[in-house]
Amino acid sequence: MYRYVARRCLQALLALLVLSAVVFGLVRLTGDPTLLMLPEDASAEDIARLRRALGLDRPLPVQYWIFLRNALQGDFGRSIRGQVPVRDLIAERFPYSLRLAAASFAITLLLAVPLGVLAAVYKGSWLDRLAQVVAVLGQSLPMFWVGILLIQVFAVQLRLLPSGGTGSVAHYVLPAFTLGWWLVAGIMRLLRSSMLEVLDSEFVKLARLKGLSEARVIWKHALRNALIPVVTFGGIYLAVLITAAILVETVFAWPGLGRLVYEAIVFRDFPVVQAVVLLTAALVIVSSLVVDILYAYLDPRIRYG
Amino acid sequence: MAEAVLEVEDLHTYFFNRRGVLKAVDGVSFTLYRGETLGLVGESGCGKSMTALSIVRLVPRPAARIVRGQVRLRGEDLLAKSEREMRQVRGRRIAMILQDPQASLNPVFTIGNQLVEAFAVQRRWPRRRLWTLAAEALRHVKVPEAARRLYDFPHQLSGGMKQRVVGAIALAGAPEVLIADEPTTALDVTIQLQFLRLLKELQAETQMAMLFITHDFGIVARLCDRVAVMYAGRIVEQGPVRAVFRQPAHPYTQALMASVPRLDVKVDTLATIEGQPPALDALPEGCRFAPRCPYVERRCQQAYPPMVPLQADHAAACWRLEG
């Protein structure tokens, strides 16, 4: 188990390194930033001076090394727009994104797991059919549209919940639900089908033959096995969740990373874009690492592969 | 040996689907006595396994349903019991070994965990004592290094060892009846024999009654006291193994016997039975074997023949025996 985890951690570090190189390279493909920073009639000497000041005259590997060293220390340069360190911008926005993600993730666990299991156990019942409708809508309705619709109904017409911004628990409800619905739908459908398969297996039959209660058969023997494919896909869902947050944060004026990167793109604030892209990609890598470790915990066949 | 433990009477288990009714078990009756082994033989799909699952009331719901009949365990009607009461029966009084040891153990829990669970439903003992009990149970079924094996996961054991673990789980409750549903088809021949011998030894110790489901006549000859031959949802012949093997009375049993290859007679071709068993959702009116039977008569196609007693405990369902 420890060897497996150590191996996966090493792979994740490697992936991060490759990723940083890609981000570094991509940014340099977008053109010379000095042309944007100086007036159009700037002399060649001025440009050269600025390039020297920014370190752009040095060879690429050296530049990459400096970028990597600074990034490791949390230094992503300064925002072009606000002239504040990118680190401060991220430090300010990141907690909001994290809280929103946690809230929608909590909704997902609380709804998707019981719903998925019960839909499989009571296959064909009204509960199952209701769950299917919720799942199909959740996966097919565009998230920004769901967000706008929810604002229209709950904020504008019923005046029950705030339409955007942060402050109280009530502010979390609409964005977390918008983000969570899609996740609930995906995980529930996956869990339902894998539960159905597992419930049909011989070891579930044997568990019943032992005289175990139905609750124990379902929540211990069946669920633990049914979760394995769900966790695999969970990693992918998590990655999509991070990108989807950009839409939801924009719709609900949520001051998170998603909105930060949206604003940065609009204003061509390259250092910010670069840092946020790097950070979200790192998040995806870390979450897939967590998924893999969880996966090994759930399935001993991988632990002792 | 007249002490009846399990009596199955006129059992009917049907599958209901959109296209119609599938009569998987259609009027099965037999009695299982203390300390004996009854072999239930027949082709795949003749309703053997469904009979077994009906006894413990674990037929696949909601498609299948026990429609009619009685299953009595020492006189108590199991079909009248509530689900809660049935759980007291499963594992403790009637245990079952499933066909595929590979698939019967849950891949994500240790052997110890799964064994302890079987003991824990019967006694609320502290975990440690249950764990000791589990190690003993493994030793009992001759798993080497039992105490260490408890920490293993199923995929770390060989097929034969897994089958022993499954056996230990089944015996955890010291059951009065053990149903073994083709427990050795997934194992190689040498491992098969070891496991069967082990089962016999354990049976001699506990005097449990065994219902042994198989399609292997070699196993029946070696292991069983009596045999019941099943065809298309019904028992067509039943009797002591010796009598049925020497003088098979039903044409189906005769044909089956003829199709078993023998080592002492040189043959060029294996005998087969012409045709296919009838589809269980379109059973013929009369005798189910009539379409394939070489002796078929008019009355065979009109009504199902009664069970005709031949001699001590030997009976077959065939019109020709009526005389």
Is A132 part of a structural domain of the chain?
yes
Counting Cβ atoms within 10 Å, is residue A191 exposed (0-12), middle (13-18) or buried (19+)?
A: buried
Q: Which of A25, A40, A72 is the last residue of a domain?
A: A72
Amino acid identity, residue B131? W
For position A304, what pLDDT does the model report?
66
In chain A, positions 199-218, which contact chain B (CB-CB < 8 Å)? 201-203, 205-214
Interface touch A209/B56, C-beta < 8 Å: yes
For position B211, what pLDDT does the model report?
96
Are residue A118 and residue A66 in the same domain, yes or no?
A: no
Describe chain B by its helix, strand, coil percentages, rounded to 5: 35, 25, 40
For residue B109, pLDDT over 80 is answered with yes
d(CA A90, CA A256): 9
From the list A231, A232, A202, A229, the residue with the least C-alpha distance to A217 is A202
CA distances from A18 to A10, A272, B40, B41, B100 (A): 13, 20, 64, 64, 47
d(CA B37, CA B226): 7
Is A124 part of a structural domain of the chain?
yes
* Contact residues for B12 (Cβ-Cβ < 8 A; gap 6+): B23, B25, B26, B27, B66, B67, B68, B69
Nearest to A206 among B89, B98, B153 (CB): B98
Determine the residue among B108, B117, B123, B152 to mutate to test chain A binding: the one whose Cβ has the most chain A Cβ atoms within 10 Å: B108
Q: Is B118 helix (H, G, I), strand (E, B) or coil?
A: helix
Is A81 part of a structural domain of the chain?
no
Q: Centre a 10 Å sphere on the Cβ of residue B270 and count the other Cβ atoms it contains.
A: 9
Nearest to B58 among A209, A225, A299 (CB): A209
| Phi, psi for B44 (deg, rounded to 5) | -60, 140
Q: Which residue has the tokens 């969880």?
A: A294
Are residue A67 and residue A152 in the same domain, yes or no?
A: no
Are residue A90 and residue A239 in the same domain, yes or no?
A: yes
For position A165, what pLDDT does the model report?
79
Q: Which of A49, A72, A95 is the last residue of a domain?
A: A72
From the list A27, A13, A11, A9, the residue with the least C-alpha distance to A277 is A27
Are residue A8 and residue A146 in the same domain, yes or no?
A: no
Interface touch A205/B169, C-beta < 8 Å: no
Task: Assess A165–B contact: CB distance below 8 Å, yes or no.
Answer: no
Are residue A54 and residue A98 in the same domain, yes or no?
A: no
**Chain B residues inside the 8 Å CB shell of A122:** none
Interface touch A212/B87, C-beta < 8 Å: yes
Q: Which residues pair with B311 in a beta bridge?
A: B314
C-alpha distance from A240 to closest chain B C-alpha (Å): 29
d(CA A205, CA A298): 21
Is A78 part of a structural domain of the chain?
no
For position A47, what pLDDT does the model report?
82
For position B79, what pLDDT does the model report?
94
Structural domains in chain A (count)? 2
User: CB–CB of A271/A79 below 8 Å?
Assistant: yes
CATH code, domain with A150: 1.10.3720.10
Are residue A138 and residue A12 in the same domain, yes or no?
A: no
E strands along chain A, which residues? none
Q: Give DSSP secondary structure letters for A26-65.
A: HHHHT--HHHHHS-TT--HHHHHHHHHHHTTTS-HHHHHH
Are residue A173 and residue A259 in the same domain, yes or no?
A: yes
Note the pLDDT tens digit of each residue in B290-318. Answer: 888 888 888 888 889 999 998 878 999 99
User: CB–CB of A121/A199 below 8 Å?
Assistant: yes
Task: Assess A192–B contact: CB distance below 8 Å, yes or no.
Answer: no
- All residue ranges of chain A with pLDDT < 70 are 31, 33, 304-305
Is A79 part of a structural domain of the chain?
no
For residue B262, pLDDT over 80 is answered with no
**Chain B residues inside the 8 Å CB shell of A208:** 58, 90
Task: Assess A159–B contact: CB distance below 8 Å, yes or no.
Answer: no
**Long-range contact list for A236-240, CB < 8 A, 24+ apart?**
A237/A183, A237/A186, A237/A187, A238/A284, A238/A287, A238/A288, A238/A291, A239/A284, A239/A287, A239/A288
Nearest to B117 among A210, A298, A301 (CB): A210
From the list A210, A214, A219, the residue with the least C-alpha distance to A116 is A219
Note the pLDDT tens digit of each residue in B68-90. Answer: 999 999 999 999 999 999 999 99
Domain span at residue A37? 2-72
Is A80 part of a structural domain of the chain?
no
Q: Which of A72, A107, A133 is the last residue of a domain?
A: A72
Nearest to B98 among A202, A211, A301 (CB): A202
Interface touch B95/A209, C-beta < 8 Å: yes
Interface touch B107/A299, C-beta < 8 Å: yes
CA distances from A265 to A245, A272, A288, B215 (A): 15, 9, 27, 72
Size of interface A-B (CB pairs under 8 A): 77
Note the pLDDT tens digit of each residue in B173-188. Answer: 899 999 999 887 777 8
Chain B, nearest residue to A199 by Cα: B60
Mean pLDDT of B41-45: 87
Q: Which residue has the tokens 């050795």?
A: B184
Are residue A189 and residue A115 in the same domain, yes or no?
A: yes
Chain B, nearest residue to A304 by Cα: B156
Interface touch B169/A203, C-beta < 8 Å: no
Are residue A186 and residue A242 in the same domain, yes or no?
A: yes
Are residue A96 and residue A16 in the same domain, yes or no?
A: no
Is A77 part of a structural domain of the chain?
no
Strand B209-214 to strand B37-41: parallel, antiparallel, or no bridges (unpaired)? parallel
Strand B314-317 to strand B307-311: parallel, antiparallel, or no bridges (unpaired)? antiparallel
d(CA B145, CA B163): 16
C-alpha distance from B204 to closest chain A C-alpha (Å): 22
For position B187, what pLDDT does the model report?
77
Are residue A220 and residue A118 in the same domain, yes or no?
A: yes
Amino acid identity, residue B307? M
Are residue A254 and residue A149 in the same domain, yes or no?
A: yes
Measure the CA angle with vertex B306, ends B304 and B309; round to 5°: 150
